[in-house]
Amino acid sequence: MSVTIAQIWQLRKSAWRDNRMSAGPVPLEWPGGDTMWWEFDGMAPSATGRERIPMWRAIVLVFILALAVPARAAPSVYEIGPYSTEIGFAVDLADVTTVAGAFTRFTGKLSLDLDAPQASRVAVTVDTRSFDIGWEPAYSLLRSDAYLDVLHWPAMSFSTETVSQQDATHVRMAGTLTIRGVARPQVLDAVLEQRHWDPDSQAEIAVFTVTGILHRSDFGMVSDALLVGDEVNLNIKARLRLAGAEPAR
């Protein structure tokens, strides 16, 4: 049970107001539903029955209880970059084959709270000129003003606004994706694939996979609709060295 000095004082005032004509102990409704008793002679109610303890001892007890409740650690902040993360994409060509690629230059920050995943946040900026793709004709095509228009828009970005926990290892991130200066809502699913102690690096490692689908037409990329699919599949993998982790005993 966690009770503050302010709660005790408020309870005492309420009890005095409601029972100021009473000559004996008066009842207090303690947080949590228990009934305590108070006599207005500098004494405080104990946790059971009508026993009384000195006020100074009750205040000390409250402070001890408050200190005994462990505070939840703040989220850890991680830098995002090519050294720990891969940002991949894939798109269908004429419903016959799939072309896959990846971006090689990007930066960002991840505020990660594994105990309360809904408190986590991420923001990433990607250099649109840095894509690597296995289909040679795609390089000039994707750089052109019909697609990424890298001359005018050399960066695209994503930042979360809300994170909802789906199960123990799965969260859904809703945020804003900006490409070619056009901002659209975007949902990504993140799954914690692994979490283990690495004896070589003497660190706990967490491996995440993030997936999602965007529609290029939402960002003004409507050329070659019969050849290039509208859906672009995102596949992101991140390997993080968790802060402050120690091996299990």
| pLDDT of res. 244 | 73
Question: What residue segments make up the domains of the chain, in order of their start?
Answer: 5-68, 76-241
Determine the Cα–Cα distance for residues 185 and 12; give it in Å rounded to an integer: 51
DSSP three-state, residue 211: strand
More confident residue, 160 or 51: 160
Which homologous superfamily is 76-241 in?
Lipid/polyisoprenoid-binding, YceI-like (2.40.128.110)
Beta-bridge mates of residue 215: 231
Give the pLDDT score at 29. Answer: 54
Q: Where are the alpha helices (DSSP H) in the chain?
A: 5-19, 55-68, 138-143
Helix (H) or strand (E) holding 119: none
Cα-to-chain-centroid distance, residue 10: 36
pTM, two decimal places: 0.70
For residue range 24-81, list pLDDT tens digits in order: 555 545 455 555 555 544 554 544 444 555 555 555 454 444 444 445 567 899 999 9
Where does 125-245 have alpha helices with state H?
A: 138-143
Q: What is the pLDDT of residues 161-210, one digit of tens each?
A: 999 999 999 999 999 999 999 999 999 999 999 999 999 988 999 999 99
pLDDT at 89 over 70: yes
